[in-house]
């Protein structure tokens, strides 16, 4: 339907069939003042200096890394950071109470969402850089901020590809704390020093996993429970404190939970949680146990580690591979 | 190249090496492709002399209007991160994409770039 929007009035012509002069619905916006255009014409000045620093800094780095993820065509990280930008952007607008800023931020956010929805990574990157101009450039990146984006291949600094498959508990532990922890964790489970259970609260060996690789001897669990494993969702969820305590028996150089958690988040090896209240933003280097499906018996915060960090067969049930069977032709 | 594309790459601070000086055709909407233009906008948005560049445009185009197409605006050029069409219409990056399709300068679709690794 032809719809005319001016500064003074909005007109919706009716009835639809008679008014549709263009053959299809048309939205015609005729504005004498366009806040985004004006802002761009002024050289994209930062106009949010009065907002709380934790919000503007958080949004600045989320947009920076959104650009990097879009450049790398990393859809999963783009989706995560879009959610983060949306939350922080809403908080920014709400704390500023500035009509012009709200208008500009809303339009830029709309364009950014449209580009992300269309899977147009080039436009996502441009819109993210444009939106970032609203914000003052922070002096430094805080550990609470979105870490610098790393491509999948750069997250484990081993130099020669992915983690090797751990086949015995006498495995050499890499000096890198993140890679060392992941190798040592696999060794702990392999040695039966601890076990993980199937996701969903049941006390049984994870479905599709090799019992000996996840701390089980047949149907009997070995050592304390440190978390759960889901082969279907390809994730290992562990209690950080129990886990690090046991891993240190294999790898004494393992940092403490807070340091190691930060390292894993900074390397994009693990999810973190953004905690947002009315005025402040902070990041927890862990995820909520309930959100992760760890159940009511687990700790409040857990580490959620994708199985893709390990060798493909690290936890998988071993056994004879299925053989191809000859099937006779079926003739009617 | 459009005659309106005056040498805007010179800024007030002549000693500053501005990014667009090295490859001015990427800022020219009569040349290049969409991918270059979007990259040019990003370069502008991170440019240390963006504000001076905007002021220079205002000096050279005092009748410019950021809200509608006018002969008082630059034409067929990206100036201070703002693309202007051949009729002087300021465009957003999204409308720049439509402009590129219309003028046959959209380049390869993104899925093709994924396949052939042009990034």
Nearest to A211 by CA among A201, A220, A224: A220
- In this structure, of A195-199, B57-61, B63-67, the range with the lowest mean pLDDT score is B63-67
Interatomic CA distance for residues A320 and B104, integer angstroms: 56
pTM of the model: 0.81
Q: Give me the residues of A, 111-130, that contact B with CB < 8 A.
A: 111, 114-115, 119-123, 125-127, 129-130
The whole-angstrom distance between B18's CA and the closest CA on chain A is: 15
**Using a CB-CB distance cutoff of 8 angstroms, which residues of chain B are in contact with residue A129?**
41-42, 45-46
**Bridging pattern class, strands A281-284 and A273-276:** antiparallel
Residue A273 vs residues A52, A77, A111, A282: alpha-carbon distances, Å? 20, 14, 26, 8
Interatomic CA distance for residues B65 and A34, integer angstroms: 11
User: What stretches of chain B show up as alpha helix (H) in DSSP?
Assistant: 19-22, 34-45, 50-60, 93-102, 110-116
Please classify residue A10 by burial: count the beta carbons closer than 10 Å to its beta carbon, then call 0-12 exposed, 13-18 middle and 19+ buried: exposed
Torsions phi, psi for B7 (to 5 deg): -75, 75
Q: Which residue of B has its CA nearest to A34?
A: B67
**Using a CB-CB distance cutoff of 8 angstroms, which residues of chain B are in contact with residue A45?**
51
Q: How much is the ipTM here? A: 0.80
pLDDT of chain A, 332 residues: tens digit per residue: 344 444 444 444 444 444 555 566 667 767 777 889 999 999 999 987 778 888 899 999 999 999 999 999 999 999 999 999 999 999 888 887 788 889 999 999 999 999 999 999 999 999 999 999 999 999 888 888 999 999 888 888 766 667 888 988 778 888 889 999 999 999 999 999 999 999 877 789 999 999 999 999 988 999 999 999 999 999 999 999 999 999 998 899 899 999 999 999 999 999 899 888 877 788 889 998 887 777 666 778 999 999 989 988 899 866 544 455 566 665 55
**Using a CB-CB distance cutoff of 8 angstroms, which residues of chain A are in contact with residue B82?**
40-41
* Subunit contact B46:A129, Cβ cutoff 8 A: yes
Q: Which residue of A has its CA nearest to B34?
A: A122
């Amino acid at each position: 339907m032809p719809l005319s929007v001016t500064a003074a009035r909005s007109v919706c012509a009716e009835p639809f069939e008679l008014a549709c002069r263009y053959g299809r619905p048309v939205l015609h916006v005729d504005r004498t003042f366009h806040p985004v255009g004006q802002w761009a014409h002024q050289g994209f000045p930062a106009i949010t200096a009065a907002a709380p620093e934790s919000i503007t800094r958080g949004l600045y780095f989320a947009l920076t890394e959104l650009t990097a993820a879009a450049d790398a065509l990393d859809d999963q990280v783009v989706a995560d950071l879009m959610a983060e930008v949306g939350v922080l952007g809403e908080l920014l607008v709400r704390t500023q109470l500035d009509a012009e800023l709200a208008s500009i931020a809303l339009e830029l956010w709309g364009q950014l969402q449209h580009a992300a929805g269309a899977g147009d990574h080039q436009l996502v990157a441009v819109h993210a850089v444009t939106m970032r101009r609203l914000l003052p450039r922070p002096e430094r990146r805080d550990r609470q901020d979105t870490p610098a984006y790393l491509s999948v291949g750069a997250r484990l600094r081993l130099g020669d590809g992915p983690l090797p498959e751990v086949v015995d508990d006498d495995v050499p532990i890499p000096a890198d704390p993140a890679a060392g922890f992941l190798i040592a964790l696999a060794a702990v489970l392999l040695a039966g020093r601890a076990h993980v259970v199937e996701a969903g609260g049941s006390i049984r060996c994870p479905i599709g996993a090799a019992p000996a690789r996840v701390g089980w001897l047949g149907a009997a669990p070995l050592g304390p429970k440190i978390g759960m494993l889901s082969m279907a969702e390809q994730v290992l969820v562990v209690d950080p404190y129990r886990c690090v305590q046991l891993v240190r028996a294999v790898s004494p150089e393992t940092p403490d939970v807070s340091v190691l958690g930060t390292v894993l988040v900074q390397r994009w090896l693990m999810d973190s949680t953004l905690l947002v209240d009315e005025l402040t933003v902070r990041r927890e280097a862990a995820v909520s146990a309930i959100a992760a499906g760890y159940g009511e018996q687990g700790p409040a915060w857990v580490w959620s580690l994708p199985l893709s960090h390990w060798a493909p067969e690290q936890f998988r049930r071993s056994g004879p591979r299925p053989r191809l069977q000859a099937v006779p032709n079926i003739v009617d | 190249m459009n005659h309106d594309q005056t040498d805007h790459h010179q800024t007030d601070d002549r000693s500053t090496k501005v990014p667009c000086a090295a490859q001015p055709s990427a800022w020219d909407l009569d040349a290049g492709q969409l991918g270059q233009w979007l990259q040019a906008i990003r370069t502008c948005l991170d440019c240390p002399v963006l504000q001076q560049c905007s002021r220079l445009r205002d000096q050279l185009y005092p009748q410019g209007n950021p809200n509608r197409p006018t002969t008082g605006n630059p034409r067929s050029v990206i100036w201070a991160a703002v693309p202007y069409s051949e009729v002087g219409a300021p465009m957003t990056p999204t409308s720049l994409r439509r402009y590129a399709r219309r003028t046959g300068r959209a380049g390869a679709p993104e899925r093709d770039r994924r396949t052939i690794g042009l990034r």
